[in-house]
Structure 1
Amino acid sequence: MHEAAPILSIVAGDHTRLGAIFDGQGVNFAVFSANATKIELCLFSPDGQRETARVALPDRTGPVWHGYVPGLKPGTLYGYRAHGPYEPDRGHRFNPKKLLADPYARAFHGEWRAAKETLGYDIAMPERDAGPSQVDSAAFVPKSIVPEPDMPWSGTPAPRRSWSETVIYEAHVKGLTQLHPDVPENLRGTYEALGCDAIIAHLSDLGVTALELLPVHAFLDDGFLVERGLTNYWGYNSLGFFALEPRYLGPNGVDGFRDAVDRLHAAGIEVILDVVFNHTAEGDHRGPTLSFRGLDNAAYYALQASHARYYVNDTGCGNTVAVHHPYVLRMVLDSLRYWVTVMGIDGFRFDLATTLGREQHGFDLRGGFFDAIRQDPVLSRCKMIAEPWDIGPGGYQLGGFPADWGEWNDRFRDTTRKFWRGDAHAARELAGNLLGTASIFDHSGRKPYSSINFVAAHDGFTLADVTRYREKHNEANGESNADGHGHNLSDNCGVEGDTRDAAILARRAQRARNLLATVFLSQGTPMLLAGDELGRTQRGNNNTYCQDNETSWINWADADSGLLDFAKRLIALRRDNTVLRQGHYLHGRLRQDELPDVAWYSLKGGALNWRDSSLDGFCLLIRGGVESTLSQSGMVVIVVNGGASDKCAMLPDPGSEQQWERVLDTAAPTVPTAIVTERHRQPVAAHSLVVFVGTQVTA
């Protein structure tokens, strides 16, 4: 027999602020559930092992249950139990035996455990999930913690870098810092390490203006990974949208995260969070009951219209969050505002963002989520980036997001890889990508920055592995190499994996430089995967979501210093030449001087046949756009030779007051800049890219 919990004093409280709010005299609790019949608040001992009190929230306003406990203080551990029908066929999975996390919890005490006791159904029944479990789960789940009152961000103000100067660096908190020799050992792998001098110096010297972090929301390790002795390294398995994942907390806890953001801001670097609102860690109907499922399954999740027992799975992760529901949408917006106004975050990258914009009738650019962002005085000023696809109906929405959003451009990635490995029919699309992929994005007042240009991201091969491996090698993931994408558009340059062949190594190095150069010389917003500038390899694993080890961490001791120097040179070239980061799309329109803003030539100076499947080279002349004054204009010529033989390029006439300067050559990355004396015969090596910049003639 369990000892009866003492009676807790509680009054009606306030429904207007969800979560646990301390006002100096006590704590107000408010939680959403449209279909529950009763919500109980449970308090726990400081070690989380013993339930010390249980009381029903005494009032309900609309779908919000609420109560106020006088005398309660921050640091109190709590959770909820929700009563209601257990009728999976109608979408209801209430089970008061399961302790539930507060969706608005700022932090948790204890760890999530993959345990059968967290399952809401009786696993002994012939038809799994047909009947409710009678096993209490409190001992197997973390407890929510009553937080101190939120303190508005008072650190270094947001840098608010313009999109045109933005250079994004996609990184994992631990992967970036775990092996860095100049990060103090007690900080390695933590949020605090992001603010260390060594990390900030690397980002600043490289020219990065925005650090985009893989998910930092509290998340779970999938049960099947735990069984294999692995963990969910990437973190795309969220449960707490207001809480930092505790495994990366340093000595100063949450304050350490804020301090790191403060130091990054002081260096002029914005911080963008990769957020996962499209699904949760509760999985499909066979998954655990941890929070949303137990509070109101039919409201928090999209259920199949024909059979509410099962979830809509537009995400491929077992469930789909019903962001179109007003209170679920409110939770998402409250979370985003919290990270901006309290934690100092500057923007968000939305995983599987199509899911967030899908109303019950389909994806809708004028749906509730986008409308709410547009009108929000805080969020409307943030950088918003979409991963513009999911696996649901009409899921591929590249180019379909709001005008002021950026979008991951996978077509840029694929075409760039195709062209530089020598695929036919790739030149024309590459040429369009160099100008910001206008065919997809130039509509509805959108700007070139809408296209987030990249050749490698966390999901897939690294830059180095695009040149080292033809096939994926994911055996360490424990799925017999069946996981991960098979369409890598990569090339091993002659040998799969490691080699000592000098010719192959040289070919790979040049391929990597070509790929990087295409990213940073294209109109749009460049994104660099952390470690790609150092030649980081994952040994052919293109799905390291479960590899929290040296496979995923940056090996700073093995850095390719030559590639790093080249990357710095590229980013500086982009920064110093505004013509490479135009504010409007270029279409060959005439400027005030009657010259076109952009023009294409063959390497011999003539017209191009874009329909030629064997076309492997061209010259792109970019001048200042028609909206610029002539005094702001510059000129850049990008010469691309994807062919197997060396060629010569004829440069256009720069005019009487300017001359061409050869500033970058992927075939000769260390050769200094030089004034062109013979513009009709500029050598361009095979498989290379060369850049010429117009400069003023000096007396």
Structure 2
Amino acid sequence: MRELHKAGIEVIMDVVYNHSGEGSELGPAVCFKGIDNPTYYCLTGSAMEPFRYYVNYTGCGNTLNLANPHVIRLVLDSLRYWVETMHVDGFRFDLASVLGRENGMFEKSASFFDAISQDPVLNRIKLIAEPWDIGTYQVGNFPVDWSEWNGKFRDTIRKFCKGDSGQLTDLGYRLTGSADLYGEDGRSAYNSINFITCHDGFTLYDLVSYNYKHNEANLENNSDGTNDNNSWNCGFEGETNDQNIINLRKQLIKNFVCYLLFSSGTPMILGGDEFMRTQRGNNNAYCHDNETSWFNWEYAKENPDMLNFYKKAIEFTKTHKIFQRRKFLLGRDLDANGVPDIRWFGKDTEKPSWDDPELRTVCYQLDEEEGHDHFFFIILNADYNMQYIRIPKLINRKKWHRVVDTSLESGEDFLDSGKEILLDPPDYYLVNPRSTVVLIGK
């Protein structure tokens, strides 16, 4: 921990306080069952056996009773230890909706949340919720001092990238920080933890390589793991030697990188995605301690083009503060230059037809405000056809230059600072199918 902090790296610890390892009523009695079963667990049953069975909101056989003050104290004591003794910087709470359940229902003002907010140690650290459990989906509903894994960002971005219809309206919210989820209770764009993949589910490479889960190695007849993956295999299921399919998969991965890192919010990258790690289509690999779940660092040597694209995208966001904006984009002129902070376009410099379910191309211009002198024009084309995009004129004799085109070969797909290519002619761009383009105005 000390060495990570010396390197300027904060540590967010993944914690699981929603269940124990004692399982259901068929599981062993290891600790809480033998100490005070009805205090520590949510129980249910018939009128004849009212506390015979364990409520299972977690999928792990039992659910801890975070409405009980003794259980809350246990969890808070644990959290304070990790903060005060081990100096972690925050926590990501697994199946955090369980923590807010009282009388079986999720409550934004639940006792556990109140206890956290009043604790002088815990109310100053980073709190991140996985805002769902087996029985409820609470994205956008956590207290004001919590950030959330934005599952709606994940789902919408996946659907849009693979070309699903009817995604444009929701896409606008997700790219700009999800104000519809976090804008009405005092939170801001940074409270949206944007992600496309995580430790549960497909890796990013598998997301563009498999239409279906392949969990046979889990020995549950491929019945475990979700079927709702919103993935697309680009025309072939699994590994292939077809170079056209390989190139398309890499192009889609680069699109995902742009969607994630250039959106408002806090981006979260799954380790290994930067060099195309695969689990061979297994989307529930928690039970494996083998090549399925291990990091194969040879992938980094085999895919230096993808690793380099990630590095350049991260450096680009660090260089241009508009991509680190903590507040929501408002569509208003915030620096008195006559240009709004964000302006949306269709293919012809007019406003996009948000309600057109078959529209799969959208553009937007960003104004890097307050002391910065750049504009950005971003084209997202999830359509399988090439698109002719009209480019708006710039003020103060600035000119558009190409920075990113994910359809181009490595080396040309993301240009270094100072080597951007002047757009000529300056008023349009031919955008290749299923690609992303970023222009900088300077």
Q: TM-score, normalised by structure 2?
A: 0.93
Residues 516, 567 of structure 1: 8 Å contact kept: yes
Q: Which residue in 2 is equivalent to 1:660?
A: 400
Question: In structure 1, the residue corresponding to 2:198 is in which secondary structure?
Answer: coil
Question: In structure 2, the residue corresponding to 1:529 is in which secondary structure?
Answer: coil
Residues 314, 391 of structure 1: 8 Å contact kept: yes
Q: Which residue in 1 is equivalent to 2:155?
A: 414
- Displacement of 1:675 in angstroms is 3.1
Residues 579, 636 of structure 1: 8 Å contact kept: no
Question: In structure 2, the residue corresponding to 1:658 is in which secondary structure?
Answer: coil
- Displacement of 1:367 in angstroms is 1.9
Residues 393, 427 of structure 2: 8 Å contact kept: no
> Of the candidates 264, 267, 281, which is equivalent to residue 540 of structure 1?
281
Q: Which residue in 2 is equivalent to 1:691?
A: 438
Task: Supply the distance in 2 between the matched residues of 1:370 and 1:267 (Cα, whole angstroms).
Answer: 32
Match status 1:599 vs 2:339:
no
- 1:366-445 to 2 correspondences below 5 Å: 366-392=109-135, 395-445=136-186
Question: In structure 1, the residue corresponding to 2:269 is in which secondary structure?
Answer: strand
Residues 641, 689 of structure 1: 8 Å contact kept: yes
Code of the aligned partner of 2:375: M
Match status 1:613 vs 2:357:
yes
Code of the aligned partner of 1:643: D
Q: TM-score, normalised by structure 1?
A: 0.60
Task: Supply the distance in 2 between the matched residues of 1:680 and 1:315 (Cα, whole angstroms).
Answer: 54
Question: In structure 2, the residue corresponding to 1:415 is in which secondary structure?
Answer: helix
Task: Supply the distance in 2 between the matched residues of 1:360 and 1:637 (Cα, whole angstroms).
Answer: 50
Task: Supply the distance in 1 between the matched residues of 2:69 and 2:294 (Cα, whole angstroms).
Answer: 40
User: Could you report, residue by residue, the CA deviation over 1:635-654 in whole angstroms, capped at 9, with x for unpaired residues?
Assistant: 32211111222233222222
Task: Supply the distance in 1 between the matched residues of 2:402 and 2:217 (Cα, whole angstroms).
Answer: 46
Question: In structure 1, the residue corresponding to 2:53 is in which secondary structure?
Answer: coil
Task: Supply the distance in 1 between the matched residues of 2:331 and 2:45 (Cα, whole angstroms).
Answer: 51
Tell which deviates more after alignment, 403-412 or 505-514.
403-412
Q: Which residue in 2 is equivalent to 1:348?
A: 91
> Of the candidates 246, 249, 253, which is equivalent to residue 508 of structure 1?
249
Residues 271, 345 of structure 1: 8 Å contact kept: yes
Question: In structure 1, the residue corresponding to 2:441 is in which secondary structure?
Answer: strand
> Of the candidates 490, 496, 499, which is equivalent to residue 237 of structure 2?
496
Task: Supply the distance in 2 between the matched residues of 1:537 and 1:301 (Cα, whole angstroms).
Answer: 37
> Of the candidates 393, 402, 425, which is equivalent to residue 678 of structure 1?
425
Question: In structure 1, the residue corresponding to 2:402 is in which secondary structure?
Answer: strand
Residues 390, 396 of structure 1: 8 Å contact kept: yes
- Displacement of 1:631 in angstroms is 2.5
Q: Which residue in 2 is equivalent to 1:277?
A: 17
Residues 373, 380 of structure 1: 8 Å contact kept: yes
Segments of structure 1 that go 5 or more residues without pairing to the other structure are 1-260
Match status 1:522 vs 2:263:
yes
Match status 1:300 vs 2:40:
yes
- Displacement of 1:596 in angstroms is 2.1
Question: In structure 2, the residue corresponding to 1:621 is in which secondary structure?
Answer: strand
Residues 403, 447 of structure 1: 8 Å contact kept: no
> Of the candidates 327, 330, 343, which is equivalent to residue 587 of structure 1?
330
Task: Supply the distance in 1 between the matched residues of 2:144 and 2:389 (Cα, whole angstroms).
Answer: 38
Task: Supply the distance in 2 between the matched residues of 1:649 and 1:638 (Cα, whole angstroms).
Answer: 11
Label 1:413 to 1:331 Cα distance change in 2 as closer, same or farther (>3 A).
Answer: same
Tell which deviates more after alignment, 519-528 or 407-416.
407-416
> Of the candidates 56, 59, 62, which is equivalent to residue 313 of structure 1?
56
Percentage of matched positions with identical amino acids? 46
- Displacement of 1:680 in angstroms is 0.5
Task: Supply the distance in 2 between the matched residues of 1:547 and 1:317 (Cα, whole angstroms).
Answer: 17
Q: Which residue in 2 is equivalent to 1:175?
A: none
Question: In structure 1, the residue corresponding to 2:371 is in which secondary structure?
Answer: helix
**RMSD of aligned residue pairs (Cα, Å):** 1.6
Task: Supply the distance in 2 between the matched residues of 1:497 and 1:469 (Cα, whole angstroms).
Answer: 6
Code of the aligned partner of 1:292: F
Match status 1:578 vs 2:321:
yes
Match status 1:637 vs 2:377:
yes
Task: Supply the distance in 1 between the matched residues of 2:374 and 2:63 (Cα, whole angstroms).
Answer: 48
Code of the aligned partner of 2:440: V
Q: Which residue in 2 is equivalent to 1:478?
A: 219
Code of the aligned partner of 2:197: A
- 1:147-296 to 2 correspondences below 5 Å: 261-296=1-36
- Displacement of 1:616 in angstroms is 1.0
- Displacement of 1:578 in angstroms is 1.2
- Displacement of 1:634 in angstroms is 4.5
- Displacement of 1:418 in angstroms is 1.0
Task: Supply the distance in 1 between the matched residues of 2:261 and 2:4 (Cα, whole angstroms).
Answer: 22
Question: In structure 1, the residue corresponding to 2:43 is in which secondary structure?
Answer: coil
- Displacement of 1:632 in angstroms is 4.8
Task: Supply the distance in 2 between the matched residues of 1:444 and 1:634 (Cα, whole angstroms).
Answer: 32
Task: Supply the distance in 1 between the matched residues of 2:125 and 2:374 (Cα, whole angstroms).
Answer: 30
Question: In structure 1, the residue corresponding to 2:365 is in which secondary structure?
Answer: strand
Match status 1:460 vs 2:207:
no
Q: Which residue in 2 is equivalent to 1:363?
A: 106
User: Could you report, residue by residue, the CA deviation over 1:593-630 in whole angstroms, capped at 9, with x for unpaired residues?
Assistant: 34322111112212211111110111111224xxx6x4
- Displacement of 1:565 in angstroms is 0.4
Question: In structure 1, the residue corresponding to 2:399 is in which secondary structure?
Answer: strand
Code of the aligned partner of 2:214: H
Task: Supply the distance in 1 between the matched residues of 2:201 and 2:195 (Cα, whole angstroms).
Answer: 12
Q: Which residue in 2 is equivalent to 1:562?
A: 305
- Displacement of 1:500 in angstroms is 0.5
How many residues are treated as equivalent by the alignment?
429
Task: Supply the distance in 2 between the matched residues of 1:363 and 1:338 (Cα, whole angstroms).
Answer: 27
Residues 45, 52 of structure 2: 8 Å contact kept: no
Spell out structure 1 runs of 4+ moving beyond 6 A: none
Residues 388, 428 of structure 2: 8 Å contact kept: yes
Question: In structure 1, the residue corresponding to 2:366 is in which secondary structure?
Answer: strand
Residues 116, 123 of structure 2: 8 Å contact kept: yes
Task: Supply the distance in 2 between the matched residues of 1:579 and 1:522 (Cα, whole angstroms).
Answer: 10
